[in-house]
């Protein structure tokens, strides 16, 4: 938090149906120095998608719809060439074949002043108008390829409302939130503000914390506000295969369907990563099944993760962005598995290596100097004698005493090698050998 300037962070760990740890750090209101607490509300962003998927699953269980119903059956405005073969299943699993169309990004970034674009989508009819012409952007047949599609979950929220006869949030409240005793979980601005104790939104950029506004309107794709105590009850339900405190919320077969991978995300630290219904999945988290989802609407970030076979899970909420919540949740769960995340969790090891490499370098007798700076998952190498280069990790093996990167020199791919010696860090770049002369600031 000190490095990234996150205003606040709250977390809760549930183990064997009980909250074993919960804690809040930092401020829900930076300007007034008001501390956050574990009951403070935050927007959970795309963790909302798991609630939407659970609600759809509940309607399927009740016989109100089928996972393989075509979308136009419920949304006549989408009865067109693009959606005629797209099923509810495809929207839940992000396998519609439609690439992300940018609605959520514009909706969020225009609200907080980071984009000049504007999309006034306030109804499913507006969304249908926005999607008019999207058939020319279709990349694959439904079911054949994964594309994360926020627009699809917006549509699912409307399907829930039309099939149930009540609003999306009212259905959640009656069928999920109330049975789970999630009394401080909301969607609307009015409910959040009247509920009180909510964290204020902040843009965290270039080491500066700036008060912002909430980008309302993400709905079933990312609009739920909750706290880590409520989310612990939600996780407990998954860990108990659809039950909470002995009461069945949804059938075990529906939980199993939600936790079955149907699509393969294009990038993940886990080779077997998959996406079910509103949940990311892997069986390769230190040999355990990991179920999770993260969320971000820029001014709020979130993480939910659990190990079904171990009966343990974590929820984590922040009122700013700048550090991956998935790394934090995996860090915690790896500790509970008796692992050392600093040495055994791949993204953490890489992060530590990038930080270690940052600093000033000098060639023979200081004839040429260079600066290495971390830029996210990359390094930026620069110097008045050599210009500037982006270094992309290629083979980073700190335990083997080296870290290899590559960059482009003209159109040619050029390797950059770092070596970890007892005397310090060496860098081989182009024809030169450098040695690090100071620690990164």
Provide the CATH number for the domain around residue 409: 2.40.128.210
The verdict on 252 and 389 lying in the same domain is no
10 Å CB burial of residue 48 (0-12, 13-18, 19+) is buried
Lowest-confidence range among 104-108, 357-361, 409-413?
409-413
**Under 8 Å between Cβ of 22 and 313:** no
54: tokens are: 């659970």
- Identify whether residues 74 and 215 lie together within a single domain: yes
The pLDDT tens digits for 343-366 are 899 889 888 899 999 999 999 999
Which of 311, 344, 377 is the last residue in one of the domains? 344
Which of 286, 310, 344 is the C-terminal boundary of a domain?
A: 344
Interatomic CA distance for residues 404 and 391, integer angstroms: 9
Give the pLDDT of residue 398. Answer: 65
- The verdict on 52 and 199 lying in the same domain is yes
Same-domain check for residues 332 and 365: no
More confident residue, 394 or 441: 394
Which of 286, 311, 344 is the C-terminal boundary of a domain? 344
Is the confidence at residue 441, as pLDDT, over 50? no
For residues 23-45, give the mean pLDDT.
Answer: 98
Q: Indicate if 195 and 216 belong to the same structural domain.
A: yes
Q: For residue 427, count other CB atoms closer than 10 A to its CB.
A: 22
Contact 23, 11 (CB under 8 A): yes
Whether 302 and 398 share a structural domain: no
Q: Quick one: pLDDT at residue 177?
A: 98
Per-residue pLDDT at 440 exceeds 60 = no
Domain limits for position 370: 355-436
Confidence of residue 327 (pLDDT cuts 50, 70, 90): very high
In a domain, 350, yes or no: no
Within-domain flag for 299: yes
* Reported confidence tier of residue 268, pLDDT bands at 50, 70, 90: confident
Q: Is residue 387 part of a domain?
A: yes
What is the average pLDDT value for the chain, to the nearest integer? Answer: 95
Name the phi and psi angles at 253, rounded to 5. Answer: -65, -30
Examine the domain organization and report whether 223 and 130 are in the same domain: yes
Those residues whose C-beta lies under 8 Å from the C-beta of residue 357, and which sit 6 or more positions away, are: 372, 374, 379, 403, 418, 425, 436
> Quick one: 338 and 413 in the same domain?
no
| pLDDT of the residue at 399 | 67
How many Å apart are CA 348 and CA 30, to the nearest integer? 28
**pLDDT tens track for 178-234:** 999 999 999 999 999 999 999 999 999 888 999 999 999 999 999 999 999 999 999
Q: What is the pLDDT of residues 139-153, one digit of tens each?
A: 999 999 999 999 999
In three-state secondary structure terms, 318 is strand
* Structural domain contains residue 82: yes
Question: Quick check: 439 pLDDT over 70?
Answer: no
Work out the number of other CB atoms within 10 angstroms of the CB of residue 410.
6
Residues 319 and 402 occupy one common structural domain: no
Asked whether residue 140 is domain-assigned, the answer is: yes
Q: CA torsion, points 183, 187, 193, 195, in degrees to nearest 10?
A: 0
Calpha distance 25→28 (Å, rounded)? 9
344 Cβ contact partners less than 8 Å away, ≥ 6 residues apart: 286, 334
Q: What pLDDT is stored for residue 111 in this prediction? A: 92
Q: How many CB atoms are closer than 10 A to CB 197?
A: 14
* Number of domains within the chain: 2
Same-domain status, 314 and 412: no
Helix (H) or strand (E) holding 415: strand 412-421
Which is it for strands 432-436 and 359-362: parallel, antiparallel or unpaired?
A: antiparallel
Residue identified by tokens 């204020």 is 200
Are 298 and 388 within one domain? no
Same domain, 422 and 337: no
Q: Looking at the predicted structure, is the pLDDT value of residue 245 above 70? A: yes
The residue-averaged pLDDT of 143-164 equals 97
For residues 219 and 52, give the distance between their C-alpha atoms in angstroms, rounded to a whole number: 10
CATH code for position 205: 3.40.710.10
Q: Is 109 helix (H, G, I), strand (E, B) or coil?
A: helix
Nearest to 302 by CA among 4, 3, 8, 2: 8
Predicted TM-score of the model (pTM): 0.93
Calpha distance 390→187 (Å, rounded): 41
Give the pLDDT confidence score for residue 299 in this predicted structure.
Answer: 97
With 80 as the cut, is the pLDDT of residue 135 above it? Answer: yes
In a domain, 417, yes or no: yes
């Amino acid at each position: 938090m000190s490095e990234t300037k996150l205003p606040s962070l709250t977390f809760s760990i549930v183990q064997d149906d009980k909250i074993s740890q919960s804690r809040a750090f930092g401020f829900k209101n930076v300007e007034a120095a008001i501390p956050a607490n574990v009951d403070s509300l935050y927007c959970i962003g795309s963790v909302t998608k798991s609630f939407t998927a659970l609600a759809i699953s509940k309607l399927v269980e009740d016989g109100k719809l089928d996972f393989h119903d075509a979308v136009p059956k419920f949304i006549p405005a989408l009865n067109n060439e693009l959606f005629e073969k797209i099923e509810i299943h495809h929207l839940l699993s992000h396998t519609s074949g439609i690439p992300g169309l940018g609605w959520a990004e514009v909706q969020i970034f225009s609200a907080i002043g980071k984009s000049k674009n504007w999309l006034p989508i306030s109804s499913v009819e507006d969304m249908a108008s926005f999607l008019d012409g999207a058939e020319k952007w279709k990349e694959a047949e439904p079911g054949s390829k994964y594309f994360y599609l926020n627009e699809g979950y917006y549509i699912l929220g409307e399907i829930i409302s039309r099939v149930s006869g009540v609003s999306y949030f009212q259905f959640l409240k009656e069928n999920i939130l109330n049975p789970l005793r999630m009394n401080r979980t909301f969607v609307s601005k009015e409910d959040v503000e009247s509920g009180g104790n909510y964290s204020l939104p902040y843009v965290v950029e270039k080491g500066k914390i700036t008060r912002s506004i909430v980008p309302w309107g993400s709905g079933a794709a990312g609009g739920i506000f909750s706290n880590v105590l409520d989310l612990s009850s939600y996780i407990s339900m998954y860990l108990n295969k659809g039950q909470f405190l002995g009461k069945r919320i949804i059938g075990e077969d529906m939980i199993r369907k939600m936790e079955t991978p149907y699509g393969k995300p294009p990038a993940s630290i886990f080779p077997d990563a998959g996406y079910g219904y509103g949940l990311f999945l892997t069986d390769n988290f230190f040999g355990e099944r990991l179920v999770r989802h993260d969320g971000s609407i820029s001014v709020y970030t979130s993480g939910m993760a659990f190990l079904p076979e171990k009966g343990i899970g974590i929820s984590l909420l922040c009122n700013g962005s700048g550090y991956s919540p998935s790394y934090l949740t995996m860090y915690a769960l790896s500790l509970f598995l008796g692992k050392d995340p600093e040495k055994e969790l791949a993204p953490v090891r890489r992060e530590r290596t990038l930080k270690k490499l940052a600093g000033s370098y000098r060639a023979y007798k200081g004839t040429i100097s260079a600066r290495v700076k971390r830029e996210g998952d990359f390094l930026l190498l620069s110097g008045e004698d050599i210009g500037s280069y982006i270094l992309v990790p290629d083979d980073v093996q700190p335990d083997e005493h080296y870290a290899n990167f590559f960059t482009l020199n003209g159109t040619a791919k050029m390797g950059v090698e770092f070596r970890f010696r007892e005397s310090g860090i060496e860098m081989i770049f182009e024809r030169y050998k450098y040695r690090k002369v100071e620690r990164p600031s």
